[in-house]
Amino acid sequence: MTIQIYKIDGTAKELYPLVGPLVMNPAVLKYNNRYPFKTTKNFEWYVAVDKENGEAVGFIPLEHKNSETLINNYYAQAEGHDEILGWLLDAVKQDMTDEMPPLTALAQIQHAALFKEQGFTTTKEWKLYLKMQKTK
């Protein structure tokens, strides 16, 4: 599978047809613990697209806040899951600058090892999620 990562503003018209089939899919919502996906002008979406068929296979919405830059409610398809999430995380990290607030992730428990490999450390634990901070 050959992937291209697109960075799309949170309210850009091209975002909706690209991620719509995923964010409204019951299986994807189940993956996200039934929590709905959301976006505003404060979001940038990193979308992994399969170059062969032009379909989105994963995404990370990145929310820009005053005190943190937040990864939350991400998704990657089952085939190539960890690799896709890794590519998306790499793209997010490459765009981070020293002027931006720290990069924080609300990661699902089952993805703890993947986020740790990407340089995140756990700062808080809940039943289904970890709050993780990217160390500089």
State the Cα–Cα distance between residues 46 and 13, nearest whole angstrom.
15
Q: What is the pLDDT of residue 135?
A: 84
- Is domain 3-100 classified as CATH 3.40.630.30? yes
Residues 6 or more apart whose Cβ sits within 8 Å of residue 92: 46, 60, 62, 71, 103
State the Cα–Cα distance between residues 85 and 134, nearest whole angstrom.
15
Q: Over its length of 136 residues, how does the chain's per-residue pLDDT go in tens digits?
A: 899 999 999 999 999 999 999 999 999 999 888 888 999 999 999 999 999 999 999 999 999 999 999 999 999 999 999 999 999 999 999 999 989 999 999 999 999 999 999 999 999 999 999 999 998 6
Q: What is the pLDDT of residue 128?
A: 93
